[in-house]
Amino acid sequence: MREFSHTITSNYALAAKPALDIIKLAGEHKCKTYVKSRDYVTDIGKLFIVLSSGIGAGDTIEFITEGADEKSAIDKIGKYVARNM
């Protein structure tokens, strides 16, 4: 299991375009990917549910991967999130 936490610094918070990109990145790997915000954890495919919870600048979001490609997946997701959020 690998984890990556990121505090959102973008004024646009977690918007639809970055969310879709993250879902695509996760889908390219052979592992389970989860997203955690506050006390809510869900499969990455349900990232839009997390979006609706009002994540904004200053909030921390965590990505968790488990499986064969977990390291590659978390590295790519982490790099994308750091650049875009």
Domain with 19 in it: 2-84
pTM of the full structure: 0.86
Q: For every one of its 85 residues, what pLDDT tens digit does the chain have, with 9 covering 90 and above?
A: 999 999 988 766 567 788 889 989 999 999 999 999 888 888 988 877 777 777 778 889 999 999 999 999 999 999 998 888 7
Instruction: Write down the pLDDT at residue 2.
Output: 96
Q: Round to whole Å and give the CA distance between 33 and 63.
A: 7
Average predicted confidence (pLDDT) for the chain: 87
Q: Round to whole Å and give the CA distance between 14 and 81.
A: 10
Instruction: Write down the pLDDT at residue 8.
Output: 83
- Please state the domain count of the chain: 1
One-letter amino acid of 19: A
Q: What is the CATH number of the domain that holds 34?
A: 3.30.1340.10
